[in-house]
Amino acid sequence: MPKVIFLTSLVSEITASFNQYTPADFVVEVHANTLPEEKIISLMEEADFLILFPSQISDKALKAAKKLKLIQLVSAGFDKMNVELCRELGIPIANNGGANSIDVAEHTLALILAFYRRFLEMDHNARTDRWRAIDSGMTTYTIHGKTAGVVGLGQIGQKTARLLNAFGANVLYYDAFPQPEAVEKELNVTRSSLEALLEQSDIVTLHVPLNDDTQGLIGETQLSLMKPAALLINTCRGPVIDEAALTHALRKGEIAGAALDVLTQEPPDPDNPILHLDNVILTPHTAGVTFDTWARRGEFIYQNLQRVWDGQPPLAVVSQ
């Protein structure tokens, strides 16, 4: 019988919703990821599969995993995994296969709408006897007719592009690995260089993994290409943006604003200047986390483990 170790910070109600999809002959042990390292190493010695949330485990524990056939991540991101060591050890890593991609895409649209319609300010004013303190006819905007640039056209980027199209935006995209022409046509998106996308877009939204190629992808040079009225959205990873350069651009009004679900340091230092800017909306790295996402993730995860146990290659592999 395959033995699955699930190391997690998730509450028991969520892990229980995952485990309803456990194949009948699988033995699953759920443990807090805060266990002493010696205990985790002991668990790894007998594990056939490892499920991780968050996506982080020590090198010592990995080296102890002599039977491990797959590391299955609950999240999409894998930037905190020692990918090279897993490759050396012959242990494939899979992410959640886009199970939370619609959640991130919807969150992206919510951030755009919140900024464009000034929801946070309007809510505050409506509660504090300032009913029409904002002249919405002069200071709020519609997505319809705007040019939106999607940086990274993976599963999240594709779903975001579909939603932007539904709102009537003209959608450009940049990706280091361009999509086939048929996919571009089906999504109604136009391929662009990063520079041209930044110059032309009213809205720029980032959906790339964090790696050596994407760290600092949006820095001073890239921000200088953007329109003064542009909005920058980041729901992928904080270090994709040079945060100091973004703070400077926002302070100087070089772009209109930013809506960020992620920051370079999480949680941020209370003195981080970006926290105190009026033209920034922040959420605490929750774009992919909804009640509805857990069932999708759990179903995908255990189907993927079953595939590997049956001798098939895993899906959504990020390293092997």
The torsion defined by the Cα of 67, 72, 78 and 80, in degrees rounded to 10, comes to -50
Helices (H), 35-118: 37-44, 59-64, 83-89, 101-117
Q: Which long-range contacts (CB under 8 A, 24 or more apart) does 274-281 make?
A: 274/243, 274/246, 274/247, 274/250, 277/247, 277/250, 277/251, 279/250, 280/250, 281/111, 281/114, 281/115, 281/120, 281/257
φ, ψ for residue 21, nearest 5 deg:
-95, 5
Q: How far apart are the first and last CA of the chain?
A: 24
List for the chain the helix, strand, coil content (%; round to 5). 40, 20, 45
Peptide bond into 267 cis (omega under 30): yes
Spatial separation of the C-alpha atoms in residues 173 and 193, rounded to whole Å: 8
Whether 87 contacts 270, CB under 8 Å: no
Which distant-in-sequence residues (6+ apart) come within 8 Å of 303 by Cβ?
A: 21
3-state DSSP call for residue 19? helix
Cα maximum dimension of the chain: 65
Tokens of 258: 């930013």
| Residue positions annotated with a catalytic role | 237, 266, 285
**What is the signed CA dihedral for 52, 55, 60, 62, rounded to 10 degrees?**
60
